[in-house]
């Protein structure tokens, strides 16, 4: 099922000229898939490969970051999946730059990219699968256009298995390449004699959408014992359609002094360094970047046990897991983490060791480079 790249020692890929690669993504607003795509694109660029990034919509905040690294970014200024102009505009880009490989991220870009690359000079089309999305509006278009895709790259083993089953994809057309994380220049410090003084600081980082279920964190805090709830501070970083509803719910629950919605913050790692635990109560995920980033910062994580999350977190060893939507179990995890600071330190140390050895960007970028070379060497590519 899984065909990871051969470079597995975590070393930096060699600096060598490679094939021309175009990355296509639905949009470039801040998000896990967008950050991961930017890291892959800039990583191949640093290896000396010709790389270009295309956004079907606008360039967003991530576009500027990519351009600063020297990778050109082009936006097609199109709308949703029904905007067929995206196909023809992307097709013109592919013909103009004479791309060898097209790598797409997110559902709309996957479908548009396949159709746009058909009968062009693109030798290989790769679809990036970021989450195990079970919606019919996603599955049906993917099934109908899968014959136009040479290969798939999934962010986790669970996502690979699920998407393969849903879309009838043969195992030899699916590869798992996990997200990576940049380790801090100064490793986090851990102490076996951690104190329980001061407030217990809980952090949420993510888009305020139904997928992330931030309202579950409010429900869990309400279920904490009074003595603990009075000592809890919750910081919510992120924007999205649920922002105002969350603020209204917090006010109505009488938690305004304990829970604060700050909106999007670019300094999330600084917040991680001064927090005690990160909470991610998502309904579904691929392999969330925020979990890996927290582990790299020495911040223990409490997360719903969805999709690829258990591939990074072992319950009770490198973090805490709870069933998605189970606010009572989330409250229990919060209570255990708050009342056992030494256990938090042990889990944080184990999590840092795991992410340091298994999830680094050099390794992931090297795996993608190896996969591209392998695909282009096969006679089956167009």
Q: What is the DSSP string of 123-163?
A: -EEEEEE-S----HHHHHHHHHHGGG-SEEEESSHHHHHHH
Mean pLDDT in order along the chain per 10 residues (382 residues) = 40 60 94 91 95 95 93 95 93 93 96 94 94 88 94 94 94 93 83 66 95 96 93 95 95 94 91 95 91 95 94 95 97 96 94 92 94 84 58
Q: Phi first, then psi: what are they for 252, rounded to 5°?
A: -65, -30
260 and 368 both lie in a single domain:
no
166 and 217 both lie in a single domain:
no
| Pairs from 229-233 (Cβ < 8 Å, separation ≥ 24) | 229/258, 230/258, 231/199, 231/200, 231/338, 232/199, 232/200, 232/202, 232/258, 232/334, 232/338, 233/199, 233/200, 233/201, 233/202, 233/258, 233/259, 233/260
Number of compact structural domains in the chain: 2
User: Is residue 102 in some structural domain?
Assistant: yes
Alpha helix positions (H), the chain: 32-46, 60-68, 85-97, 107-117, 136-145, 157-167, 215-222, 226-229, 243-252, 268-273, 289-296, 327-339, 341-358, 361-377
User: Is residue 350 in some structural domain?
Assistant: yes
The residues, any chain, with a CB within 8 Å of residue 70's CB and separated by 6 or more, are 42, 45
27 and 176 both lie in a single domain:
yes
The confidence score (pLDDT) of residue 7 equals 41
User: Is residue 263 in some structural domain?
Assistant: yes
Question: Which pair of structure tokens corresponds to residue 16?
Answer: 């060598």
85 and 119 both lie in a single domain:
yes
CA angle 117, 121, 122 (to 5 degrees): 50
User: Is residue 191 in some structural domain?
Assistant: no
Dist CA 382 CA 380 (whole Å): 6
CATH number at residue 138: 3.40.50.2000
- Is the Cα torsion angle 64, 65, 71, 73 positive or negative in sign? negative
26 and 152 both lie in a single domain:
yes
Q: Which domain holds residue 245?
A: 200-358
Phi-psi sector, 158: left (phi>0), alpha (psi -120 to 50), beta: alpha
170 and 301 both lie in a single domain:
no
167 and 235 both lie in a single domain:
no
44 and 168 both lie in a single domain:
yes
117 and 49 both lie in a single domain:
yes
The confidence score (pLDDT) of residue 266 equals 85
User: Is residue 253 in some structural domain?
Assistant: yes
207 and 174 both lie in a single domain:
no
In this prediction the pTM is 0.79
The residues, any chain, with a CB within 8 Å of residue 270's CB and separated by 6 or more, are none
Dist CA 69 CA 38 (whole Å): 10
349 and 372 both lie in a single domain:
no
């Amino acid at each position: 099922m899984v065909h990871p790249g051969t470079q597995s020692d975590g070393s930096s890929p060699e600096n060598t000229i490679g094939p021309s690669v175009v990355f296509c993504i639905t949009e470039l607003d801040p998000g896990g898939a967008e950050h991961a795509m930017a890291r892959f694109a800039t990583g191949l660029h640093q290896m000396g490969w010709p790389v270009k990034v295309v956004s079907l919509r606008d360039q967003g905040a991530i576009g500027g970051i990519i351009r600063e690294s020297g990778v050109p970014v082009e936006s097609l200024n199109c709308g949703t999946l029904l905007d067929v102009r995206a196909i023809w505009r992307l097709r013109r880009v592919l013909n103009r730059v004479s791309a060898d490989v097209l790598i797409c991220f997110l559902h709309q870009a996957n479908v548009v990219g396949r159709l746009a690359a058909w009968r062009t000079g693109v030798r290989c089309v790769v679809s990036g699968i970021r989450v195990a999305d079970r919606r019919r509006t996603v599955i049906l278009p993917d099934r109908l256009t899968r014959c136009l895709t040479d290969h798939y790259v999934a962010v986790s083993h669970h996502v690979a298995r699920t998407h393969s089953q849903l879309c009838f994809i043969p195992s030899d057309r699916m590869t798992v390449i996990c997200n990576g994380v940049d380790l801090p220049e100064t490793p986090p410090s851990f102490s076996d004699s951690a104190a329980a003084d001061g407030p217990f600081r809980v952090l949420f980082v993510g888009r305020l959408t139904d997928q992330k279920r931030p309202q579950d964190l409010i429900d869990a805090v309400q279920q904490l014992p009074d003595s603990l709830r009075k000592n809890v501070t919750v910081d919510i970083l992120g924007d999205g359609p649920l922002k105002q509803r969350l603020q209204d719910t917090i006010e109505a629950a009488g938690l305004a002094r304990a829970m604060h919605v700050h909106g999007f913050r670019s300094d999330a790692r600084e917040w991680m360094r001064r927090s005690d635990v990160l909470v991610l109560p998502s309904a579904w995920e691929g392999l969330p970047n925020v979990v890996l980033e927290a582990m790299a910062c020495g911040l223990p994580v409490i997360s719903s046990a969805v999709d690829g999350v258990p591939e990074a977190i072992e319950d009770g060893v490198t973090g805490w897991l709870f069933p998605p939507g189970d606010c009572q179990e989330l409250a229990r995890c919060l209570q255990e983490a708050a009342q056992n600071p030494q256990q938090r330190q042990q889990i944080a140390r184990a999590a840092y060791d795991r992410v340091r050895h298994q999830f680094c960007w050099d390794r992931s970028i090297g795996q993608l480079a190896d996969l591209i070379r392998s695909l282009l060497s096969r006679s089956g590519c167009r």
